[in-house]
C-alpha cells in the first residue's frame, strides 16, 4: 500500500472511530452563502476519508457521505456526496465535530469513490457551498 493510501486508511479509522457515537449529520446546501433557509436540508452519514483529485484548487482529502435518502437532482439520482472544509484553518475533524461551512460535490451516477484510490474530478460535480452539523446523537 503506498504511503498516501496508508495515510488515508489511518485517517479514516481514526476520524470515524469518533463517528461511532455520532452517526448522522444535517447537510444544508447553500447555507454558507445564501442564508439559513436555503435550498436543501439532507441527512447524511460518513462513509470514509477519500483522496481528492490531484488538481489545483481541490482539497487533498474529503469525507465521503451517503445520503440517508437518495434524491433526484436535474433528473439524476444522488446517493453520495464528498464534503471538505470550505475555509482554510478548518479541518476534517471540524466537519465531524462542529457546525462547519463546507464545499460539497455530488458523486455522479455510475461513478464509484473509495479510499482505495484517488478519485478524479470527472467523478463528481462541484455542487454547492453549505454547512454541516451533527443531527442525531445515539
Radius of gyration of the chain (CA): 14
Burial of 31 (0-12, 13-18, 19+ CB in 10 A): buried
Question: pLDDT grade, residue 110 (50/70/90)?
Answer: very high
Residue pLDDT, tens place only, 66-97: 999 988 888 999 999 999 999 989 999 999 88
Residue pLDDT, tens place only, 14-72: 565 544 445 799 998 874 455 555 567 899 999 999 999 999 888 899 999 999 998 88
Please compute the mean of the pLDDT values over residues 86-111 and round it to a whole number. Answer: 92
- In the chain the first and final C-alpha atoms are separated, in Å, by 34
Q: What is the pLDDT of residue 39?
A: 64
Question: pLDDT grade, residue 101 (50/70/90)?
Answer: very high
Q: What is the pLDDT of residue 23?
A: 76
41 has which bridge partners? Answer: 28
In Å, what is the CA distance from 8 to each residue of 15, 16, 30, 31?
Answer: 10, 12, 28, 28
Q: Is the pTM of this model over 0.95?
A: no
Whether the CB-CB separation of 71 and 42 falls below 8 Å is answered with yes
Q: What is the pLDDT of residue 31?
A: 47
Question: pLDDT grade, residue 10 (50/70/90)?
Answer: low
Q: What is the pLDDT of residue 11?
A: 58
Q: What is the pLDDT of residue 32?
A: 47
What sign results for the dihedral spanned by CA atoms 37, 42, 46, 47?
negative
Q: If DSSP codes are grouped into helix, strand and coil, which group holds residue 132?
A: strand
Amino acid at each position: 500500500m503506498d504511503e498516501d493510501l496508508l495515510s488515508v486508511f489511518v485517517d479514516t479509522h481514526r476520524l470515524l472511530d469518533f463517528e461511532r457515537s455520532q452517526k448522522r449529520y444535517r447537510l444544508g446546501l447553500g447555507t454558507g452563502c445564501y442564508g439559513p433557509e436555503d435550498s436543501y436540508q439532507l441527512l447524511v452519514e460518513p462513509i470514509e476519508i477519500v483522496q481528492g483529485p490531484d488538481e489545483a484548487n481541490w482539497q487533498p482529502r474529503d469525507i465521503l457521505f451517503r445520503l440517508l435518502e437518495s434524491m433526484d437532482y436535474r433528473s439524476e439520482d444522488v446517493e453520495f456526496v464528498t464534503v471538505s472544509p470550505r475555509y482554510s484553518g478548518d479541518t476534517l475533524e471540524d466537519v465531524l465535530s462542529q457546525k462547519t461551512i463546507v464545499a460539497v460535490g455530488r458523486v455522479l451516477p455510475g461513478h464509484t469513490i473509495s479510499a482505495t484510490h484517488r478519485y478524479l474530478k470527472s467523478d463528481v460535480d462541484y455542487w454547492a457551498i453549505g454547512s454541516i452539523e451533527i443531527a442525531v446523537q445515539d
